[in-house]
Amino acid sequence: MGNPVLKIRNLSVSFKIKDYHYPAVDDVTLTINEDEVLAIVGESGCGKSALALSIMGLHPKGRTKIDGEINYQDQNILRLNDASLNKVRGNEIAMIFQDPLTALNPLVRIGKQIEESMKYHTNFSASQRKKRALELLGKVGIPYVKRVYAQYPHELSGGMRQRVVIAIALACNPKVLIADEPTTALDVTIQAQILDLMKTLQEDTMAGIILITHDLGVVAEMADRVAVMYAGQIVEIADVDTILKKPLHPYTRSLLNSIPSKMSNKSRLHVIEGVVPTIQNLKRNGCRFAPRIKWIGGSEHQENPLLEEVEPDHWVRCSCYRNFYFPKGKTGEKHDVLT
Amino acid sequence: MLKFLLRRTLIMIPQLFILSVLIFLLAKSMPGDALTGQIGPQIDAERLIELREKAGLNDPWHEQYARWIGNVIQGDFGKSAIYQQKVTNLIGDRLGNTLLLSASILLVSYLIAIPLGIIAGRWTDSWVDKLIVWYNYLAFATPLFVFALIILFIFGFTLQWFPIGGSVDIQADKGTMDYVLSKTEHLVLPTMAGSLLATFGTIQYLRNEIIDTKIKDFVKTARSKGVPERKVYSQHIFRNSLLPIAAFLGYEITGLIGGSIFLESIFSYPGLGQLFLSSISSRDFSVVNILVLISGSAAIVGTMLSDLILSWVDPRIRVD
pLDDT at position A333: 47
Contact A106, A153 (CB under 8 A): yes
Q: Do B315 and A154 touch (CB under 8 A)?
A: yes
Q: Do A99 and B217 touch (CB under 8 A)?
A: yes
* Minimum Cα–Cα distance from B221: chain A residue: A103
pLDDT at position A197: 87
Min Cα distance B318 → chain A (Å) is 11
Q: Which of A97, A108, A171 sits opposite B217 (nearest CB)?
A: A97
Question: What are the tens digits of pLDDT across the range A142-170?
Answer: 889 999 999 999 999 988 999 999 999 98
Beta strands in A189-276 (DSSP E): 208-213, 225-230, 233-239
B14 touches chain A (CB under 8 A): no
**Domains (ranges, CATH) in chain B?**
87-317 (1.10.3720.10)
Q: Which among A86, A175, A176 is the top mutation candidate for probing chain B, defined by the most B β-carbons within 10 Å of its own β-carbon?
A: A86
Indicate if the alpha-carbon torsion angle B34, B36, B37, B39 is positive or negative. positive
Question: What are the tens digits of pLDDT across the range B158-181?
Answer: 888 888 777 777 777 777 777 788
pLDDT at position A152: 93
The mean pLDDT value for B116-124 works out to: 92
The answer for residues whose C-beta is within 8 angstroms of residue B193's C-beta and 6 or more apart is B144, B147, B148, B151, B152, B263, B266, B267
Q: How many residues does chain B have?
A: 320
Min Cα distance B316 → chain A (Å) is 7
Q: Residue B190 pLDDT more than 80?
A: yes
pLDDT at position A17: 86
A243 touches chain B (CB under 8 A): no
Q: Do A88 and B228 touch (CB under 8 A)?
A: no
Residue type at position A330? K
Q: Which of B222, B224, B240 sits opposite A107 (nearest CB)?
A: B240
B228 neighbourhood in chain A, CB within 8 Å: 82-83, 86, 120
More confident residue, B241 or B81: B241
Integer distance in angstroms from the first to the last C-alpha of chain B? 5
Q: Which of B221, B223, B315 sits opposite A107 (nearest CB)?
A: B315
Q: Do A165 and B221 touch (CB under 8 A)?
A: yes
Contact B90, B275 (CB under 8 A): yes
Q: Tell me the pLDDT band of A339, cut-offs 50, 70 and 90.
A: very low
Q: Which of A90, A106, A165 sits opposite B226 (nearest CB)?
A: A90
* Minimum Cα–Cα distance from A113: chain B residue: B222
Contact A173, A205 (CB under 8 A): yes
The mean pLDDT value for A305-329 works out to: 83
- Concatenate the DSSP letters of all residues of A160-186 into one string: HHHHHHHHHHHTT--SEEEEESTTTTS
What 3-state class would DSSP assign to B270?
A: coil
What 3-state class would DSSP assign to B195?
A: helix
d(CA A310, CA B250): 70
What is the percent of chain A with per-residue pLDDT over 90, rounded to a whole number? 40
B223 neighbourhood in chain A, CB within 8 Å: 56-58, 89
Q: Where are the alpha helices (DSSP H) in chain B?
A: 2-29, 45-55, 61-73, 87-122, 127-141, 144-151, 177-213, 217-224, 229-231, 238-241, 243-258, 261-266, 272-281, 285-313
B221 neighbourhood in chain A, CB within 8 Å: 97, 103-105, 165, 168
pTM for the model: 0.81
Q: Which of A82, A90, A154 sits opposite B225 (nearest CB)?
A: A90
Question: What are the tens digits of pLDDT across the range B84-95?
Answer: 788 888 888 788
Q: Which of B216, B220, B226 sits opposite A117 (nearest CB)?
A: B226
Q: Tell me the pLDDT band of B128, cut-offs 50, 70 and 90.
A: very high
Q: Residue B6 pLDDT more than 70?
A: yes
* Minimum Cα–Cα distance from A87: chain B residue: B226
Q: Tell me the pLDDT band of A188, cut-offs 50, 70 and 90.
A: confident
d(CA B281, CA B283): 6
* Minimum Cα–Cα distance from A151: chain B residue: B315
- Element at A6 (helix H, strand E): strand A4-17
A121 touches chain B (CB under 8 A): yes
Q: Do A121 and B224 touch (CB under 8 A)?
A: no
The answer for residues whose C-beta is within 8 angstroms of residue B158's C-beta and 6 or more apart is none
pLDDT at position A31: 92
- The CA-based angle A61-A65-A69, given to 5 degrees, is 110
What 3-state class would DSSP assign to B233?
A: helix
Q: Tell me the pLDDT band of A40, cut-offs 50, 70 and 90.
A: very high
Q: Residue A330 pLDDT more than 60?
A: no
Q: Tell me the pLDDT band of A39, cut-offs 50, 70 and 90.
A: very high
Q: Residue A63 pLDDT more than 80?
A: yes
Q: Which among A72, A105, A113, A117 is the top mutation candidate for probing chain B, defined by the most B β-carbons within 10 Å of its own β-carbon?
A: A105
Min Cα distance A288 → chain B (Å) is 31
Backbone angles phi and psi of B107, in degrees to 5? -60, -50
B315 touches chain A (CB under 8 A): yes
Helix-helix angle B61-73:B285-313, to 10 degrees:
60
B169 touches chain A (CB under 8 A): no
d(CA A212, CA A51): 10
Min Cα distance B109 → chain A (Å) is 26
A116 touches chain B (CB under 8 A): yes
d(CA A215, CA A229): 13
Q: Do A116 and B227 touch (CB under 8 A)?
A: yes
Q: Which of A97, A103, A120 sits opposite B227 (nearest CB)?
A: A120
Question: What are the tens digits of pLDDT across the range A264-316?
Answer: 666 677 788 888 888 888 877 888 888 888 777 777 788 788 888 888 889 98
What 3-state class would DSSP assign to A213?
A: strand
Listed by start position, the domains of chain A span 4-223, 239-261+268-335
pLDDT at position B253: 76
A62 touches chain B (CB under 8 A): no
The mean pLDDT value for B127-156 works out to: 90
Q: Residue A332 pLDDT more than 70?
A: no
The mean pLDDT value for B137-161 works out to: 88
d(CA B248, CA B242): 10
Q: Do A107 and B229 touch (CB under 8 A)?
A: no
Q: Do A97 and B316 touch (CB under 8 A)?
A: no
A90 touches chain B (CB under 8 A): yes
pLDDT at position B37: 64
Q: Residue A335 pLDDT more than 60?
A: no
Considering the four listed CATH numbers 3.40.50.300, 3.40.228.10, 3.40.190.10, 1.10.150.390, the one that applies to the domain covering A4-223 is 3.40.50.300
A213-217, B45-49, B92-96: which is most confident: A213-217
Q: Residue A207 pLDDT more than 50?
A: yes
Q: Which among B126, B224, B237, B241 is the top mutation candidate for probing chain A, defined by the most A β-carbons within 10 Å of its own β-carbon?
A: B224
The answer for residues whose C-beta is within 8 angstroms of residue A193's C-beta and 6 or more apart is A141, A159
Q: Residue B272 pLDDT more than 60?
A: yes
Q: Do A105 and B314 touch (CB under 8 A)?
A: no
* Minimum Cα–Cα distance from A82: chain B residue: B228
Q: Residue B297 pLDDT more than 90?
A: no
Write down the mean pLDDT value for chain B.
Answer: 84
Q: Which among B209, B214, B215, B221 is the top mutation candidate for probing chain A, defined by the most A β-carbons within 10 Å of its own β-carbon?
A: B221
The mean pLDDT value for B172-193 works out to: 81
What is the percent of chain B with per-residue pLDDT over 90, rounded to a whole number? 20
What's the Cα-to-Cα distance from B199 to each of A197, B132, B258, B286, rounded to whole Å? 51, 11, 18, 35
Q: Residue A200 pLDDT more than 90?
A: no
The mean pLDDT value for A64-93 works out to: 90
A90 neighbourhood in chain B, CB within 8 Å: 224-227
Q: Do A117 and B223 touch (CB under 8 A)?
A: no
Question: What are the tens digits of pLDDT across the range B34-45?
Answer: 666 666 677 777
Q: Tell me the pLDDT band of A60, cut-offs 50, 70 and 90.
A: confident
The mean pLDDT value for A93-122 works out to: 92
Q: Residue B223 pLDDT more than 80?
A: yes
Write down the mean pLDDT value for chain A.
Answer: 87
What 3-state class would DSSP assign to A243?
A: helix
Secondary structure letter of residue A278 according to DSSP:
P
Min Cα distance B233 → chain A (Å) is 12
A120 neighbourhood in chain B, CB within 8 Å: 225-228
A303-307, A317-321, B111-115, B156-160: which is most confident: B111-115
- Pairing mode, strands A37-41 and A225-230: parallel
Question: What are the tens digits of pLDDT across the range A221-277?
Answer: 899 999 999 988 999 999 999 999 889 998 998 888 888 777 666 667 778 888 888
Q: Residue A93 pLDDT more than 70?
A: yes
Q: Residue B302 pLDDT more than 70?
A: yes
B320 touches chain A (CB under 8 A): no
Number of A:B CB contacts under 8 A?
Answer: 79
pLDDT at position A264: 62
What 3-state class would DSSP assign to A42?
A: coil
